[in-house]
A and B are shown apart, each in its own frame.
Chain A
Amino acid sequence: MTRYVIKRVFLAFVTVFALSLITFFAMNAIPGGPFNKEKASSKEVQAMLEKRYNLDKPLGEQYVLYMKGIFHGDWGISTKTGRDIWTTLSSSFKVSAKLGLIAAGVAIVCGLVLGSIAALNRNKLPDRLIIFFTTLATSMPSFVLASLLLLVFCVKLKWVPAWSAENDNIILPIIALAAYPMAYITRLTKTSMLDSLSQDYVRTARAKGVPKVKIIFKHALRNALIPVITYVGPMIAYIITGSMVVENIFTIGGLGSKFVTGITNRDYPMIMATTLFLGALMVTANLITDLVYKAVDPRIELE
């Protein structure tokens, strides 16, 4: 186990390093720099600006300087707004994290409940209804769902006010974000629950006269949880990408939108910071998922 953990942690570091390399050189390969605007500032001003952001140095040196800064906790200054990246990043991350965590929680809880209901009522009406709606939800991009929700509940019915600084009603964005992972978890739970319900230990428990509730929660659901755990890593990835679009629709200034505007503005420090931050987050989530997965189920062999 220790060897496996060390190997995985090492791989995670290599991944983040590769990510920083790819992002750095890719964004520098986009023609046009942060200070090439239509209204050209004078040559001296441009040179000064480039010097301030180390853009006059060779690419390799820029990269080394940037990474040194990161290791010292210095995320740089935005070339667009001139503000400290870390303050922008942490404030928008709070919004994204709140949204993402609630959406993930909703998706997991609802998914598990619906999946168990579907498995326990196999081929009956509740099962069919649940499977019908989850199939629909998995074939609907989050931006379609988000726009439709906005259209119906905000514009037509006026049940929910539109998102603004004073009014942070996050029900609609959460529904839009949670729908797909919830549908996926429901299907996953259903198949694994059916699998564990047909196992010998469930039959034995039933034969002993263990109450049904106890069989479901103690024997079936606990074993059915294992495949669901593996989905948590990809789910976080989905919620991050989905939030990019959903934040855009509900005009919530989260991390995802910072990345997209960073690219259009050629805001190099912003692109690097958002990519590294989100990348590190995803890699860590995947790492923890894998480790928990192996820890929860001792039957799984380590590579």
Chain B
Amino acid sequence: MQYTENGMPKKNPLSAQIDLSKFSTDDFAPATDEEKAQQEVMGESVTFFKDGCRRLSKNKLAMASLIVLVLLLISILVLPAFIPYSYSGINTVGGKRDKTATNMAPFTYSKMEQQYMEQTGEKLFPHVMGTDSLGRDYFVRVIYGTRVSLAVGLVASIMVLIIGLLYGSISAWCGGIVDIIMMRIVDIIYSLPDMLMIILLSVVLNERLGAIIDGVPALKLIGSNMIALFLVFGLLYWVGMARLVRGQILGIKQNEYVLAARTIGTPGGRILRKHILPNCLSVIIITTALQIPSAIFTESYLSFLGLGVKAPMPSLGSLANEAREGLTSYPYKLVFPALVICIIVLAFNLLGDGLRDAFDPKLKR
């Protein structure tokens, strides 16, 4: 073969080949990484979770509610450490009980406190939301009430998640007569009047479990009332989740990849864990997020009726209930807890909607 002076093969005049003599060896140098990157058409590969997070972060309302919730969480955890009052203790000045400190307006001091401040020159911590009818700092009580309400909401939805997930997946996976019996039980519990059952069972559990719970120090700290509430919510609300999980699994079970996994002899548990559960994860996350505000709602109803958390532990519902007595003179005492409930529920609802839009594009309208 003949070569031209630039090192390329010379073209036969009759050949249909490309005339390589027009090129030089420099033209065939391997592309640099930078040049390769220009050819990249595909975007960076993202997992389902990352994609959802990206969509969620673009949703302004959902992000704002997330920020509000995080701020609220931090403040209810941190603030009590800085406030020199307790949720159950009556206000004291210089070690003496302050009888003048009842029903004070926000940011005011009682007579005893004013005297004390004049005498010692020391500045006392202000009562940001005033005090209640017994002379307890209302701000701290609202903070503890928020803690209780949030704890009930979170624990209840985690319990619902665990029970519902297990029950629903067992029912869907077994199928046949097991499925029919399990689902009839769910149908019956589902159509029970839940509020009546919650009221009745929380009273029963509270009274019955009281003795057992008070014997265990760790549980006593939480209080038998709270534990009774957790249990009742867990016992009654899982049915919705179980139905949902079962429906999802039955749908996914029909897919070819499950059939393929079965054909190559994958054990049932592994198919459930690796193929089916990840696919219904988004629906489960969304439902759990929307379960939290509904549990907070129910707890506040119960406390409002005087059947929820035991005094002196406050909850937002019981604070609102106590505020009714002096509604004409001290309306702010209703407004503060009511406002906190509304903010929490609103934030969770908006976040849940945002999660649904981000993680379940099929549901989006």
Interface residues of chain A, those whose CB is within 8 Å of chain B, are 11-12, 14-15, 18-19, 22-23, 26-27, 29-31, 135-136, 138-141, 143-144, 147-148, 150-151, 155, 191, 194-195, 237, 240-241, 244-245, 248-249, 259-260, 263, 271, 274-275, 278-279, 282-283, 286
A30 touching B203, Cβ below 8 Å: yes
Chain B residues within 8 Å of A, Cβ to Cβ:
184, 187-188, 191-197, 199-201, 203-204, 207-208, 293, 297, 300-301, 304-305, 307, 317, 320-321, 323-324, 327-328, 331, 334, 338, 341-342, 345-346, 349-350, 365
Q: Determine whether the beta carbon of B305 is less than 8 Å from that of A245.
A: yes
A14-B194 Cα distance, complex, nearest whole Å = 16
B contact residues around A26 at 8 Å (CB): 200-201, 204
A263 to B305, CA, bound (A): 12
B351 to chain A, nearest CB (A): 12
The 6 closest A-B pairs by CB, nearest first: A241-B195, A139-B346, A139-B345, A144-B338, A15-B191, A282-B193
Contact A283 B208 (CB under 8 A): no
Residue of A nearest to B303 (CB): A143
Which B residues are CB-close (under 8 A) to A139? 293, 342, 345-346, 349
Contact B200 A275 (CB under 8 A): yes
Q: Can you list 6 A-B pairs with a CB-CB distance of less than 8 A? A: A11-B191, A18-B188, A144-B341, A151-B331, A237-B194, A279-B193
A-B pair count, CB < 8 Å, reads: 123
Contact, CB under 8 Å: A138 / B328: no
- Name B's interface SS: helix
A281 to chain B, nearest CB (A): 8
- Could you say which of A15, A147, A263, A286 contacts B338, with CB atoms under 8 Å apart? A147
**Inter-chain contact A143/B320, CB cutoff 8 Å:** yes
A248 and B323 alpha carbons, distance in the complex (Å): 14
A150 touching B305 in the complex, CB below 8 Å, given contacts A15-B191, A139-B345, A140-B342: no
Query: What CA separation (Å) do A139 and B153 show in the bound complex?
Result: 14
Contact A147 to B342, CB < 8 A, known contacts A15-B191, A27-B200: no
Residue of chain B at shortest CB distance from A18: B188
Decide: A283 near B191, CB < 8 A? Known: A147-B334, A244-B305, A260-B305.
yes
| Cβ contact within 8 Å between A27 and B204 | yes
> Chain A interface mostly helix, strand, loop or mixed?
helix
User: Which residue of chain B has its CB nearest to the CB of A140?
Assistant: B342
Q: Which chain B residue has the least Cβ–Cβ distance from A248?
A: B305
Contact yes or no, B191 A282, CB < 8 A: yes
Most buried by B among A29, A240, A249: A29
Given contacts A29-B207, A241-B194, A286-B191, 10 further A-B contacts (CB under 8 A): A29-B208, A141-B345, A147-B324, A148-B338, A155-B328, A237-B195, A245-B301, A274-B196, A278-B196, A279-B196
Cβ of B84 to closest chain A Cβ, rounded Å: 30
Give the one of B200, B208, B338, B346 with max A CB within 10 A.
B200
Verify A22–B197 contact, CB threshold 8 A: yes
Q: CA A274 – CA B196 in complex, angstroms?
A: 9
From known contacts A148-B338, A263-B200, infer whether A135 and B346 are also in contact, taking CB-CB under 8 Å: yes
A257: nearest chain-B partner, CB-CB: B305
Nearest residue (CB) in B for A271 is B200
| Shortest distance between the CB of B116 and any CB in chain A (Å) | 34
Q: Residue on A with the closest CB to B349?
A: A139
Task: Quote the shortest CB–CB distance from A80 to chain B (angstroms).
Answer: 16
CB distance from B308 to the nearest CB of A (A): 12
Nearest CB to that of B346 among chain A residues? A139
A151 and B327 within 8 A (CB) = yes
Known: A14-B188, A260-B199, A286-B191. A151 touches B341 (CB 8 A): no
Q: Give bound CA distance, A275 to B304, whole Å.
A: 20
Q: Assess the A23–B327 pair: CB atoms within 8 A.
A: no
Which of B208, B320, B327 makes the CB contact (< 8 A) with A144? B320
A12 touches B191 (CB 8 A): yes
Take A19-B193, A150-B327 as given contacts and tell me if A141 and B297 are in contact as well, using a CB distance cutoff of 8 Å.
yes
A138 to B305 CA separation, bound complex (whole angstroms): 20
The answer for the CA separation of A259 and B198 in the assembled complex, in Å, is 12
Of the candidates A15, A191, A271, which one forms a contact with B192 in the assembled complex, judged by CB atoms under 8 Å apart? A15
Cα distance A26–B228 in the bound complex, in angstroms: 14
**B108–chain A nearest beta-carbon distance, Å:** 21
